[in-house]
């Protein structure tokens, strides 16, 4: 991908310099003295006040960001992620406008270790995710290394991962995610199937982004599409289960098989039409 020199998104929150504070962290002596004085004046339980202050300090520390210490390689990955997010903004802003509506851009949080979101606390080991509660996608750059180890190297493979999470944002703002949750509640026996449909649609949306973005920037190069398809194949549920030495269990799928993920990503890229991404039609 010819991504260098392209616009970078400003909707990025870099929390890599921070980190989660463990429960039970120490409070200063001054803080304890102040709390005791307040308890004497107000008549409130000092232990309850100490718990409140401790929880407040922990939450504040967990969401704060400090100076980011990064290598040249890490900076390049961060710049790449910001550039890809900007390209999703450009592509979806134009597409939503063409369809007579306005695109609500998400934010991206880059983190390492653990991260606090409206969806709870997540570890970088869980991989990238989107939180509907705060309209943010969360990305640990270390996942790109994991992607390479899984047999999916290359810029476009990494871009596909970000575009997939942006696809979940589109499902959120258009109401698809909410409808899927309702279907799961009404038909709990097929809850996993509905989740798979949601994930496959996000794959299709990632493909649509690739088509729209290339039309705008002409930045895809020979081999890029193959990288994306290889990434989709590498993270199919059946492939992940096989690589983990497990028996393939379709009932436990949450994202779809390798063949399904490749099919829907390719369909999005070939059509460039979000209207062709109705993965729920077969239910």
Q: Which among 12-16, 29-33, 148-152, 279-283 has the top mean pLDDT?
A: 12-16
Cα pseudo-dihedral 231, 237, 239, 245, rounded to 10: 140
The whole-angstrom separation of Cα 262 and Cα 16 is 32
Q: pLDDT at position 55, please?
A: 47
Question: At 42, phi and psi to the nearest 5?
Answer: -90, -20
Q: pLDDT at position 128, please?
A: 94
Please report which residue ranges of the chain form alpha helices under DSSP H: 29-42, 46-63, 72-98, 142-149, 155-173, 176-186, 191-217, 224-234, 237-243, 258-271
On the 0-12 / 13-18 / 19+ scale of CB atoms within 10 A, 179 is: middle
Q: pLDDT at position 67, please?
A: 55
For residue 19, pLDDT beyond 60? no
For residues 7 and 83, the answer to whether their CB atoms sit within 8 Å is: yes
Residues pairing with 114 in the sheet = 123
Among 8-12, 19-23, 76-80, the range scoring the smallest mean pLDDT is 19-23
Among 90-104, 131-145, 225-239, the range scoring the smallest mean pLDDT is 225-239
Instruction: Assign 237 a pLDDT band (cuts: 50, 70, 90).
Output: confident
Question: At 115, phi and psi to the nearest 5?
Answer: -140, 145
For residue 5, pLDDT beyond 90? yes
Instruction: Assign 20 a pLDDT band (cuts: 50, 70, 90).
Output: very low
For residue 186, pLDDT beyond 60? yes
Residue 11: which of 162, 183, 146 has the closest Cα? 162
SS3 115: strand
Q: pLDDT at position 152, please?
A: 84
Question: At 52, phi and psi to the nearest 5?
Answer: -65, -45
Percent of the chain at pLDDT exceeding 90:
62
Average pLDDT over every residue of 45-62:
47
Output 57 or 212, whichever has higher pLDDT: 212
For residue 129, pLDDT beyond 60? yes
Instruction: Assign 25 a pLDDT band (cuts: 50, 70, 90).
Output: very low
Q: Which among 39-53, 62-76, 151-165, 237-251 has the top mean pLDDT?
A: 151-165
Segment 249-277, tens digit of pLDDT: 877 778 889 999 999 999 999 999 999 99
The whole-angstrom separation of Cα 225 and Cα 17 is 34
Instruction: Assign 60 a pLDDT band (cuts: 50, 70, 90).
Output: very low
How many beta carbons lie within 10 A of that of residue 127, not counting itself? 17
Q: Which residues contact 119 (CB under 8 A, 6 or more apart)?
A: 129, 131, 132, 133, 134
Among 21-25, 204-208, 225-229, the range scoring the smallest mean pLDDT is 21-25
| Average pLDDT along the chain | 84
Q: Which residues contact 252 (CB under 8 A, 6 or more apart)?
A: 192, 237, 241
Question: At 149, phi and psi to the nearest 5?
Answer: -65, -25
Which pTM does this prediction carry?
A: 0.80
What is the bridge-based pairing of β-strands 114-117 and 120-123?
A: antiparallel
Residue 229: which of 255, 198, 267 has the closest Cα? 267
Q: pLDDT at position 13, please?
A: 96
């Amino acid at each position: 991908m010819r991504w260098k020199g392209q616009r970078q998104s400003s909707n990025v929150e870099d929390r890599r310099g921070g980190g989660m504070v463990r429960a039970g962290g120490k409070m200063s002596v001054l803080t304890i003295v102040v709390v005791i004085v307040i308890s004497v004046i107000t008549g409130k339980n000092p232990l309850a006040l100490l718990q409140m202050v401790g929880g407040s300090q922990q939450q504040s520390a967990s969401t704060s960001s400090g100076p980011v210490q990064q290598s040249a390689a890490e900076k390049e990955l961060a710049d790449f992620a910001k550039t890809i997010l900007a390209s999703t903004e450009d592509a979806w802003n134009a597409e939503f406008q063409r369809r007579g509506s306005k695109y609500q851009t998400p934010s991206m949080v880059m983190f390492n270790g653990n991260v606090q979101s409206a969806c709870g606390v997540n570890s970088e080991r869980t991989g990238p995710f989107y939180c509907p509660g705060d309209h943010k996608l969360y990305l640990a750059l270390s996942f790109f290394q994991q992607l390479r180890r899984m047999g999916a190297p290359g810029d476009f493979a990494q871009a596909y991962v970000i575009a997939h999470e942006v696809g979940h944002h589109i499902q959120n703002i258009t109401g698809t995610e909410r409808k899927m949750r309702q279907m799961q509640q009404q038909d709990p026996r097929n809850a996993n199937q509905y989740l798979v449909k949601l994930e496959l649609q996000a794959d299709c949306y990632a493909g649509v982004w690739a088509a729209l973005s290339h039309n705008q920037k002409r930045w895809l190069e020979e081999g890029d599409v193959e990288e994306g398809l290889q990434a989709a194949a590498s993270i199919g549920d059946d492939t992940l289960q096989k690589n983990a030495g497990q028996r393939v269990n379709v009932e436990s799928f949450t994202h779809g098989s390798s063949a399904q993920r490749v099919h829907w990503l390719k369909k999005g890229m070939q059509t460039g039409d979000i209207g062709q991404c109705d993965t729920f039609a077969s239910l």
